[in-house]
Amino acid sequence: MSQNKAPKNNVFYRNQNWHYPKIEKGEGIYLFDDKGNRYLDACSGSAVANIGHGNEAVAAYTAQQMKRIAFTHLSRWTVDTIEACAERVSQWTPGDLNYVYFVSGGSEATETAMKMARQYYVERDGQGTSKWKVISKWNAFHGNTLGSLSMTGITERRKIYDPMLVNFPKIPQFYHYRNPWGCGTLEETSIKAAEALEQEIIRQGAQNIAAFITEAVVGAACPGAHPTKTYFEMVREICNKYDILLIVDEVMSGFGRTGEKFGIDHFGIIPDIMTVAKGMSCGYTPIGAAVANEEVFQTIMVKGTGQFIHGHTYAGNPLSCGVADFVMNLVEEKGYVANATAQGEYLMEKLKGLYQYPIVGEIRGKGLMTGIEFVKNQATKEPFAVGDNVKGKITANGMAEGIIVYPGGGSVDGARGDHILIAPPINITKEQVDELADALERTIKFTCEQAL
Ligand SMILES: Cc1ncc(COP(=O)(O)O)c(C=O)c1O
Count of Cβ atoms closer than 10 Å to residue 15 Cβ: 11
Between CA 168 and CA 210 the distance in angstroms is 11
The CATH class of 59-334 is alpha beta
Contact 274, 91 (CB under 8 A): no
Question: pLDDT for 96-146, tens place per residue?
Answer: 999 999 999 999 999 999 999 999 999 999 999 999 999 999 999 999 999
The residue whose CA has the least distance to atom 4 of ligand 1 is: 142
Distances (CA, A) of 354 to 328, 382, 388, 442: 34, 18, 20, 10
Q: Is 144 helix (H, G, I), strand (E, B) or coil?
A: coil
Report which residue type is found at 265. D
Question: pLDDT for 17-42, tens place per residue?
Answer: 998 999 999 999 999 999 999 999 99
Averaged pLDDT for residues 291-296: 98
Length of the chain measured in residues: 452
Q: Where in the chain is the domain with CATH 3.90.1150.10?
A: 23-55+335-451
Question: pLDDT for 348-404, tens place per residue?
Answer: 999 999 999 999 999 999 999 999 999 999 999 999 999 999 999 999 999 999 999
Residues framing ligand 1 (Cβ under 6 A)? 46, 105-107, 110, 141-143, 215, 219-220, 249, 251-252, 277
Q: Where in the chain is the domain with CATH 3.40.640.10?
A: 59-334
User: Would you tell me which CATH number, out of the four given (1.10.10.10, 1.10.3720.10, 3.90.1150.10, 3.60.150.10), belongs to the domain 23-55+335-451?
Assistant: 3.90.1150.10
Question: pLDDT for 409-434, tens place per residue?
Answer: 999 999 999 999 999 999 999 999 99
- pLDDT for 373 equals 98
Distances (CA, A) of 149 to 116, 129, 319: 17, 24, 28
- Separation of 183 CA from ligand 1 center, angstroms? 29
- pLDDT for 181 equals 98
- pLDDT band of residue 292 (cuts 50, 70, 90) is very high
- pLDDT for 45 equals 97
- pLDDT band of residue 186 (cuts 50, 70, 90) is very high
Contact 414, 448 (CB under 8 A): no
Distances (CA, A) of 392 to 357, 395, 418: 18, 5, 9
Element counts in the chain: helices (H) and strands (E): 13, 15
Q: What angle do CA 393, 396, 397 make, to 5 degrees?
A: 80
Strands 369-374 and 403-404: unpaired
- Separation of 220 CA from ligand 1 center, angstroms? 8
The residue whose CA has the least distance to atom 10 of ligand 1 is: 106
Between CA 397 and CA 224 the distance in angstroms is 22
